[in-house]
Every structure is written in structure tokens, then in C-alpha cells.
């Protein structure tokens, strides 16, 4: 089901124009951003503010309907990051332009969403150098 314009605006403003997974600023992205159903509609996730996030195309595309992934450190299953229920700082930290998972949730999310794909690290590094990618 399509998300209304009004709801899209709310989700976008709440995220302050940044991807809620990888922090990419929308203004400096060439690929566009999308509404992410955190729990996919396929799994009964609804189009309500508590189940929606603002995500870059790459993250939304790689996430698809996944709810969980594998923590590459332990090989065990872990839930994906839930931007409405989890605190970003608890699960992720920056090491330069590379996103590091602090928890199984963080590491599984980075793996499934391919947040550290080489071209994405290169893009972040360029934006950091320009002073327009904020890692706070
Ligand atoms: Zn992203």
C-alpha cells in the first residue's frame, strides 16, 4: 500500500533528511531516498509512523523484506536495526568513513544492507572531506 504524501513528509522531516541506517544526507545523494517499512508489509508491517523510516535507496533495496541477518562475528542470527525502537549510537559507531557495528544488531544490519560496500565508503569519504557528512 502506498504511503500518503503527508506521512512521507512526517517521516522525512523526523529523519532530518538523513538515512536512518547509514546517515547519508539526502541532499548529497544522487540515488534518491525512500520510505522503509521497518517490518515489511509482507510480514504484516503497517504504514504507521512507528513502522516507517527514511532510508537511502541502497539500504532500502538491500534490506528488502528482511527482519534479521547473520552477525558476521558469531555466525548467529540477529535482528536488524529498528530505527524506531533502537538507539543508533548503541549499535553503531564510525571509524572514519567505515561504519562499525557495536552489537550483533549493528553488525548484522551493516552486512545485510551492505553499508560498507567499497563504493559507499568512497562516497562517504568524499562527503566527509567536503564537510557535509556529519558523524555525530
Ligand atoms: Zn542509507
Nearest to 114 by CA among 65, 78, 62, 69: 62
Reported as a single tens digit per residue, the pLDDT across 15-64 is 999 999 999 999 998 888 999 999 999 999 999 999 999 999 999 999 99
Q: What is the mean pLDDT of the segment spanning 85-107? A: 98
Q: What is the mean pLDDT of residues 87-93?
A: 98
Q: What is the pTM of this model?
A: 0.96
Termini Cα distance of the chain: 34
Which has the closest alpha carbon to 57: 36, 82, 78, 81?
36
Helix (H, G, I), strand (E, B) or coil at 92: strand
- What spacing in Å lies between the alpha carbon of 7 and ligand 1's midpoint? 20
Q: How far is the CA of 32 from the centre of ligand 1 (A)?
A: 10
Q: Which residues contact 123 (CB under 8 A, 6 or more apart)?
A: 24
State which H helix or E strand residue 8 sits in: helix 5-14
Kindly give the distance from the C-alpha atom of residue 37 to the centroid of ligand 1, in angstroms, as a whole number: 14
5 CA → ligand 1 middle, Å: 21
CA 120 to ligand 1 center in whole angstroms: 9
Amino acid at each position: 500500500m502506498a504511503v500518503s504524501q503527508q506521512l512521507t513528509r512526517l517521516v522525512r522531516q523526523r529523519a532530518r533528511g538523513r538515512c536512518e541506517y547509514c546517515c547519508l544526507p539526502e541532499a548529497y545523494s544522487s540515488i534518491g531516498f525512500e520510505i522503509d517499512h521497518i517490518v515489511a508489509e509482507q510480514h504484516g508491517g503497517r504504514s504507521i509512523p512507528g513502522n516507517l523510516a527514511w532510508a537511502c535507496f541502497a539500504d532500502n533495496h538491500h534490506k528488502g523484506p528482511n527482519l534479521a541477518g547473520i552477525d558476521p562475528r558469531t555466525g548467529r542470527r540477529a535482528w536488524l536495526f529498528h530505527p524506531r525502537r533502537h538507539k543508533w549510537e548503541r549499535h553503531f559507531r564510525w571509524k572514519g568513513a567505515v561504519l562499525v557495528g557495536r552489537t550483533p544488531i549493528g553488525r548484522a544490519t551493516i552486512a545485510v544492507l551492505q553499508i560498507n560496500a567499497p563504493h559507499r565508503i568512497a562516497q562517504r569519504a568524499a562527503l566527509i572531506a567536503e564537510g557535509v557528512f556529519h558523524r555525530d
